[in-house]
Amino acid sequence: MAYGDDRNRGFRDNREPREMFDTTCSDCGKECQVPFKPTDGRPVYCRDCFQKHRPADRDGGNGGRRQRY
């Protein structure tokens, strides 16, 4: 079930150039890898959950401003 959305990336052809760290997602609890060293006490999310948890919809409800610098 978890496989199937990776068809765009042939990850048996190339090794990842970045160093990846094994960790467990703090949301769904599945094993994943992150491109940074997991810090104790901070939640780490897999890619799917990271998308859910990223603070993107903070201003998205009112349809006004989407970007601010």
With respect to Zn ion, which residue has the nearer C-beta, 16 or 28?
Answer: 28
Q: Using alpha carbons only, what angle is made at residue 42 by residues 44 and 52, rounded to the nearest 5 degrees?
A: 40
Site pattern 32..61 for Zn ion (x: CB under 5 A): --------------x--x------------
CB of 25: closest distance to Zn ion in angstroms?
3
Q: Which residues contact 10 (CB under 8 A, 6 or more apart)?
A: none
Cβ neighbours around 32 below 10 Å, total: 20
Please give the residue ranges that form the binding site for Zn ion (CB under 5 A). 25, 27-28, 46, 49
